[in-house]
Structure 1
Amino acid sequence: MTDDAPALSLRDVRFRWRGRAPFSLQIPEVIIAQGEKVLLLGDSGSGKSTLLSLVCGTVVAESGEVRVMGTDLSDLSSGRRDGFRAEHVGVIFQQFNLLPFASVLDNILLPLRFAPNRRTRAGATRETATDLCRALSLPSAIVAARAAELSVGQQQRVAVARALIGRPPLLIADEPTSALDAGSQTAFLDLLFEQVEAHAMTLLMVSHDARLSSRFDRVLHMDEIATVERQAA
Structure 2
Amino acid sequence: MPDIDPILALRDVKFSWPGRASFGLDLPEFTLDRSESVLLLGESGSGKSTLLSLICGTITPQSGTVHLSGTDIASLSAGKRDRFRAEQIGLIFQQFNLLPYASVLDNILLPLRFAPERRARADPVTDTAKALCLNLGLPEDAINAKAGTLSVGQQQRVAAARALIGAPPLIIADEPTSALDAATQATFLNLLFAQARASGSTLLMVSHDARLSDHFDRVIHMSDISRSAMAHA
TM-score range normalised by the length of the shorter chain: over 0.9
Aligned residue type for 2:35: G
Tell me the equivalent position of 1:135: 135
Q: How far, CA to CA, are the matches of 1:188 and 1:229 in structure 2?
A: 30
List gaps (5 residues or longer) in structure 1: none
Deviation above 2 Å: which 4+ runs of structure 1?
2-5, 19-22, 227-231
List gaps (5 residues or longer) in structure 2: none
* TM-score, reference length from structure 2: 0.95
CA RMSD, aligned part only?
Answer: 1.5
Cα distance, 1:3 vs. partner? Answer: 4.3
Aligned residue type for 2:168: P
Q: How far, CA to CA, are the matches of 2:3 and 2:159 in structure 1?
A: 27
Q: How far, CA to CA, are the matches of 2:185 and 2:229 in structure 1?
A: 33
> For the Cα contact (< 8 Å) 1:3–1:69, is it kept in 2?
no
Cα distance, 1:96 vs. partner? Answer: 0.2
Tell me the equivalent position of 1:205: 205
Tell me the equivalent position of 1:170: 170
Aligned residue type for 1:202: T
Q: How far, CA to CA, are the matches of 1:21 and 1:27 in structure 2?
A: 17
Matched positions, count: 230
Tell me the equivalent position of 1:36: 36
SS of the residue 1:13 aligns to: strand
Q: How far, CA to CA, are the matches of 1:155 and 1:175 in structure 2?
A: 14
Q: How far, CA to CA, are the matches of 2:31 and 2:109 in structure 1?
A: 30
Structure 1 residues 155-177: Cα deviation after superposition (integer angstroms, max 9, x where no partner) = 00000000001010100000011
Cα distance, 1:69 vs. partner? Answer: 1.2
Tell me the equivalent position of 2:182: 182
> For the Cα contact (< 8 Å) 1:131–1:140, is it kept in 2?
no
Query: What pairs up with 1:19-168 in 2 under 5 angstroms?
Result: 19=19, 23-168=23-168
Cα distance, 1:32 vs. partner? Answer: 1.1
Q: How far, CA to CA, are the matches of 2:156 and 2:214 in structure 1?
A: 22
Aligned residue type for 2:216: F
Cα distance, 1:143 vs. partner? Answer: 1.1
Q: How far, CA to CA, are the matches of 1:21 and 1:161 in structure 2?
A: 39
> For the Cα contact (< 8 Å) 1:38–1:203, is it kept in 2?
yes
> For the Cα contact (< 8 Å) 2:171–2:203, is it kept in 1?
yes
